[in-house]
Amino acid sequence: MSTKKIDFAGLKAQYARIKPEVARRIQTVLDHGQFILGPEVAELEAALAKRAGAKHAIGVSSGTDALIMALMAEGIGAGDAVFVPSFTFTASAEVVLLLGATPVFVEVDARTFNIDTADLDRRVGEVAREGKLLPRAVISVDLFGQPADYGTLDTLCRRHALFLIADAAQSYGAKLGNRAVGALAPATAASFFPAKPLGAYGDGGALLTDNDERAAHYVSIRAHGKGGDKYDIVRLGLNARLDTLQAAILMAKLTVFDDELAARERLAKLYDERLKGAVETPHRVPDSASAWAQYCILVDRRDEVARALKEEGVPTAVYYPRPMHLQTAYARFGEGPGSLPVSERLSERVLALPMNPYLDAAGAEHVCAAVRRAVQ
């Protein structure tokens, strides 16, 4: 039995590949010394917008800040309801509470793990009928890199006059039909957390939009709410700028990003083929391309399976072991255990396998063989 240790995300191998370009980019920043909103930030913003087919990209300090800024720009706050899938990372709901608005947790689809649009429709109707909160926005999450159902979301949000924010923290680089993530919703929040498909060497994020007014708002909010005059503050803002150094690093990463997306897809296909029949593999939305932030299988006896894999040198991770409506800080916004059964069941069964674009064929085969043994 092989005990070769597999690397989960491949960041070291990636660095070995781009080291000279990273060094060159960093040196350029050190030489010009514009550490705040230096030229690399604008360069990256143009590259991000172009790739996504969006008119504007605004570099910000994290995916979480991108989300909160998207809500702030719409004036969302106390008395407003924001609909969020329960099976997600905490930031998707945290930003709602930080602004004094109320998160309404929505079920996810058992196959795609993304927001269940039928349940969303039902919950929006319920909140509107109850009359205590004003339905204002939806934060859809492209979980594990696969775009949510933006066709249906767009129709629903128009019908209910809701603002749609795509939480694309895991999906920058993905596509739905011939449209890229970044151009699928009126506002898209991306994250460049190091482990994301496009990751910096620290925190980072971006907001993408086609709307000029909204883009100007985001630029203002990320720098304390400044207007045209530096010392006239025209709205409440934040310090949420993307560091020049992180922008420079991301420019280096973009030189290999397409190649890595293709490698992620190849690895996902190999997992699909080799694991078919042994475990439940991810469902693919037709005519879409995932960014494969994670490749998650569904298994029973998850802890046992994870332990067996670890013994064979295969690291795994659990995203996420507890849905939002069962988190201590958020339980008061939910209806307790059993209220969102799909989210609850997924959180018990989901297991992420190494998603490393630099994993070689022997390593990938080893992962598959180890998974098949572990679930026997």
Ligand X SMILES: Cc1ncc(COP(=O)(O)O)c(C=O)c1O
Q: 265 is written with which tokens?
A: 């897809």
Nearest distance from C-beta of residue 296 to ligand X, angstroms: 13
Name the minimum Å distance from CB 329 to ligand X: 16
Give the integer Cα–Cα distance in Å for 72 and 214: 11
Give the alpha-carbon dihedral of 239, 240, 245, 246, to 10 degrees.
Answer: 160
CA-angle at 81, arms to 79 and 86, nearest 5°: 140
Minimum distance, C-beta of residue 284 to ligand X, in the bound complex (Å)? 19
CB of 139 to ligand X, least distance (A): 9
Which lies closer to ligand X via its Cβ, residue 66 or residue 371? 66
Q: 162 and 187 in contact (C-beta within 8 Å)?
A: no
**Chain position whose Cβ is nearest to ligand X:** 63
Inter-residue contact 312 to 366 (CB < 8 Å): yes
**How many helices (DSSP H) and strands (DSSP E) are in the chain?**
11, 12
Residue labelled with tokens 């070995």: 16
Nearer to ligand X, 190 or 279 (CB): 190
Residue type at 295? Y
Please, which residue, 354 or 363, has the CB nearer to ligand X? 354
- Contact residues for ligand X, defined by CB under 6 A: 62-64, 88-89, 91-92, 141, 167, 169-170, 191, 193, 203, 205
Residue 205 CB, nearest approach to ligand X (Å): 5
Closer Cβ to ligand X, 316 or 368, answer by number: 316
Q: Measured from the CB of residue 94, what is the shortest distance to ligand X in angstroms?
A: 9
> What is the distance between the alpha carbons of residues 193 and 157, in angstroms, rounded to a whole number?
29
Determine phi and psi for 190, rounding to 5 degrees: -110, 155
- Nearer CB in complex with ligand X: 93/375: 93
Backbone φ, ψ for residue 283 (5° rounding): -75, 140
Q: Do residues 203 and 169 make contact, with C-beta atoms less than 8 angstroms apart?
A: no
Task: Decide whether 22 or 169 has the Cβ nearer to ligand X.
Answer: 169
